Amino acid sequence: MNSKILGGIVPPLVTPLLSRDHLDVEGLENLIEHTLSGGVHGLFLLGTTGEGPSLSHRLRREVIELACRQVAGRVPIVVAVTDTSLPELLELAHFSAEQGAAGVVLAPPYYFGAGQAELIEFVEDVLAELHVPLVLYNMPALTKIKFDIATVRRLAQYDNIVGIKDSSGDMNYFHNLLRAARPGWSVMMGSETLMAEAVLFGADGGVCGGANVAPSLFVELFEAARNLNIEQVHTLQSRVIELGERLYSVGSYDSSGIKGIKGALACLNIGNGNTAEPFHSFGERERAQLRKALLDLQLLPITSALPAPLPLNGNNGNSR
């Protein structure tokens, strides 16, 4: 991990919310301490799991400022600044640099479907104005276009691009990415159930949503994979898959990943589970399922096994 910008387990932090445009400051502080105490190697702000695109620009700046101050250099922080508007994203990037972020993360603009030539020049336009290192973010399911391998090779020529996070879930693409990367690049896996095999084949680590909830589980799995300890990988990988099966399948929406993580964190007394529109927060029945799942997965301290039900906050955003 030496001089690379990112390596190991870098949770894409969720953004705890008191209400629609009101950051849960205590929740975010608790989340940062929870993940750092689990041994994570960096933090990733305002990505997909962080619901960055759903938040106001003002609130995004508040998250960046608070997280940088709270972490105070203990681990590197990168900030997803992706936006459909270049001026808006540059403003966020400049702010991130001022606050001490180690780098900013850029997915393709996600309204217009740019071609690869336009995508390359878009990244070049961003680079020309940037004062911090840039990490690419491949997320085709949500941005519609991906970074083709040829595009990655071309962009890898710029010194100020220092890595890529791939959330395509396509291991063949990922193997090609590992071959296209420049020495010194951070190549990070964005699909948590593929992190172990990615590391076995040379990835630097993973941006794993589940590490919000169970940071040490992912750190241990990363270490096992890096040490080529396959038996231990098998054991821990099963736990990671079970975690997803139990936490991300509650409720019927596509958004169940983010809602499951936020709901599980609420069971751990980190935040209140509120999500930003267009997602809905879980109701009490679903939280009970999550609490049961956390108990079964031994992720909930016995003492909190039977907490008083969380009061439904009168002004808590979009929960219904």
Using the contact rule CB under 8 A, the part of the chain among 34-42, 187-195, 213-221, 301-309 near a copy of itself is: 187-195
- Whole-angstrom distance, CA of residue 197 vs CA of residue 180: 18
By the rule CB under 8 A, 113 interacts with a copy of itself: yes
Using the contact rule CB under 8 A, the part of the chain among 5-13, 150-158, 277-285, 302-310 near a copy of itself is: 277-285
3-state SS assignment for residue 186: strand
Tokens at residue 57, please? 């620009």
By the rule CB under 8 A, 249 interacts with a copy of itself: no
Cβ(277)–Cβ(20) below 8 Å: yes
By the rule CB under 8 A, 272 interacts with a copy of itself: no
- Burial string for 197-227 (b: 16+ CB within 10 Å, else e) reads ebbeeebbbbbbbbbbbbbebbbbbbbbbbe
By the rule CB under 8 A, 184 interacts with a copy of itself: no
Using the contact rule CB under 8 A, the part of the chain among 35-43, 70-78, 249-257, 284-292 near a copy of itself is: 249-257
- Whole-angstrom distance, CA of residue 257 vs CA of residue 248: 5
Q: How far is CA 312 from CA 69, 240, 295, in A?
A: 30, 30, 22
Dihedral Cα 79, 160, 93, 72, nearest 10 deg: 50
What's the min distance (Å) between Cβ of 196 and a copy of itself? 9
Q: How far is CA 195 from CA 9, 167, 175, 251, 306, in A?
A: 9, 11, 13, 25, 33
By the rule CB under 8 A, 99 interacts with a copy of itself: no
In the stretch 202-241, what mask flags binding to a copy of itself with x, by CB under 8 A? x-------------------------x-xx--x--x---x
What's the min distance (Å) between Cβ of 72 and a copy of itself? 29
Residues that bind a copy of itself (CB under 8 A): 20-21, 48, 51, 53-57, 59, 84-88, 108-115, 117-119, 121-122, 125, 141-142, 144, 169-172, 175-176, 179, 191, 193-194, 197, 200-202, 228, 230-231, 234, 237, 241, 252-255, 276-280, 318, 320
